[in-house]
Structure 1
């Protein structure tokens, strides 16, 4: 098959949507090498985290006018290139499909990650919310199939976008191979020294924004001796967190890291005592999966999709209850039996997110079209 993909975020995004796009392409190209994978990128990329294999074709706007108007090309004019390239199935990896694809013979798939902008409109500007809703709804309506990355997202698509549930397949995200690797003590020690990591620490990973709820972790460990390592891009919300840290003289115990390579991040996960992810709402929660592969106990939030990612042996708390979080940390630390159970059962649970399982599910969906 000739398979086309919206690859913008493959080459321009280093976080969730970029990771999903890269992992999907990596899994498919490795597992099913006889197909051709056309990666449509509107302009030269600044992120080079995907190994380009011989069965991948990099595609940019063919006409000079669209090289200058790359955003418009991705939204609509790309369809002409898809027809020229004889693409059989086009997959919008990040919530969107180009206008007019429904008027061609090309079958289309769209992955919808979450509808947080509908559930929590206060976290988005009015204009951004309206634009997102229009794009997502149109893509969901014209797509031949929709991939939802969790049962929670599928339920939201049905409720808010009014789409028939039979059109939606739940296929979970893959996880980068770095988190499944075994690293030596020498390699880990190099990371400890490079980032001045404490000998024992709690870990939080993700963009530092209000929805991710970092402040609750900081409050939970305020009157303890715990160290917390935070890995993620900073936003305006970070200043609110740092103000609390400063007011409570916790600067020496909260460690902020950015620009961490994937293998470095994997080692940081593996050396953490507990991974804490008290987010308010997510489409899935891939950091939880990364932690389980890393054999690190997980505390996350009740509700949303978190138990789908974390399984029955992770601990879930009300996201704003810092006292419950503090108790959960202590419960894990004080019981080696509980630690071992969370690690072994978590590793068993997370095998459902292995590459071979996900690849088979995606290709089966493509073949159904």
Structure 2
């Protein structure tokens, strides 16, 4: 097959779930598949590792992205007689012209399920374009069984047209030596106490305020702080104001943006990783934490139980009392915490980008061969 992939998210959305997904999937696909030819629509730099015997980099301009999307891509797809065109960023920008068949990755349908948590501009674009994206696609990839159910709930799609290809964590996420972690966090952030960790952004659907409330009320035997890495803006600023209003600013640390190595350090040293989200298409931070051997406590809703499996404990994120009870049970009992750490590492071994790429390649072959 000749497969064209919109690889622009690798640089456009670097550090986000879609950027991470696109980069790691393409790297693995190019490594495991020597039969097919890949044409990668690229923007900006950092493409050397993607230049392989089975790939061709097609440079585009971000400034003139509409020209490339609406004119250049369709003409190039026709000229090269492309069999499959894959769009990994929820299908946004898919025009349905030029290639023989079209594949999109729909990560979640949050604009449909929780529209109040999505920015107005993106919400309008998503709601407007998604019906035609679904209709034009010959195959749909998604990252969890729950996301597949959401797609079937909102759109009249043959379920055999949807393929579940779970995500994986980057290779940086592995247990780091604890002494080195302690030194780094003390020198960099002044963290010298045991801490509870949350990673995943500050949208209201993430329920970080619920975690802060539970942490404030929990009766813990030792002195803990709550650590919240991530860029603080909009909802994050509101959370900072809330923390001050309840006199918890000495106990809750907002670290700002953290690179992967710093996140892996935090995961490796935390006493407990908590993920209280109301809704996830996958929940990648849960898997990252497990790869680093963190004890994990997370929401029992949407796709998150698929990720955690038997690798940690879950709770109803709408119940503050239940969250408090489990925080106390885990943090006041070292045996429970140590067991959860072992379970995390065991569960994380079920996921890898090579597995994701193999499932994706199987899906692409099936879509190409279908009527």
TM-score normalized by the length of structure 1 = 0.89
C-alpha contact 1:204 1:276 (8 A) present in aligned 2: yes
C-alpha contact 1:146 1:167 (8 A) present in aligned 2: yes
Distance 1:132 1:215 in 2: 27
Residues 98 and 218 of structure 1, relative CA distance in 2, 3 Å threshold: closer
- SS state at 1:265 partner: helix
Partner in structure 1 of residue 296 of structure 2: 298
Counterparts of 1:348-367 in structure 2, within 5 Å, are 348-367=346-365
Aligned mate of 1:311, from 305, 309, 312: 309
C-alpha contact 2:197 2:226 (8 A) present in aligned 1: yes
Residues 300 and 162 of structure 1, relative CA distance in 2, 3 Å threshold: same
Aligned mate of 1:82, from 56, 77, 80: 77
Counterparts of 1:300-339 in structure 2, within 5 Å, are 300-339=298-337
Partner in structure 2 of residue 5 of structure 1: 5
Q: CA deviation at 1:79?
A: 1.6
Counterparts of 1:3-152 in structure 2, within 5 Å, are 3-13=3-13, 14-32=15-33, 35-41=36-42, 43-44=43-44, 51-55=49-53, 56-61=55-60, 68-75=63-70, 77-96=72-91, 98-101=93-96, 103-124=97-118, 128-152=122-146
Q: What do the CA deviations read for 1:2-26 (whole angstroms, capped 9, x no partner)?
A: 3221122211112111111112112
Residues 143 and 186 of structure 1, relative CA distance in 2, 3 Å threshold: same
- SS state at 1:295 partner: coil
TM-score normalized by the length of structure 2 = 0.88
Note if 1:194 corresponds to 2:188.
Answer: yes
Q: What do the CA deviations read for 1:310-344 (whole angstroms, capped 9, x no partner)?
A: 11342222213223212211111223332233222
Residues 7 and 165 of structure 1, relative CA distance in 2, 3 Å threshold: same
Residues 130 and 245 of structure 1, relative CA distance in 2, 3 Å threshold: closer
Distance 1:186 1:29 in 2: 35
Q: CA deviation at 1:67?
A: 6.7
Q: CA deviation at 1:117?
A: 0.8
Note if 1:209 corresponds to 2:210.
Answer: no
Distance 1:24 1:306 in 2: 21
Distance 2:321 2:292 in 1: 26
Higher mean alpha-carbon deviation, 183-192 vs 4-13, is at: 183-192
- SS state at 1:303 partner: coil
Unaligned runs of 5+ in 1: none
The number of aligned residues is 361
Distance 1:59 1:115 in 2: 30
CA RMSD across the alignment: 2.5
Q: CA deviation at 1:105?
A: 4.4
Residues 303 and 52 of structure 1, relative CA distance in 2, 3 Å threshold: same
C-alpha contact 1:76 1:99 (8 A) present in aligned 2: no
Residues 245 and 97 of structure 1, relative CA distance in 2, 3 Å threshold: closer
Residues 138 and 68 of structure 1, relative CA distance in 2, 3 Å threshold: same
Note if 1:284 corresponds to 2:278.
Answer: no
Higher mean alpha-carbon deviation, 106-115 vs 320-329, is at: 320-329
Unaligned runs of 5+ in 2: none
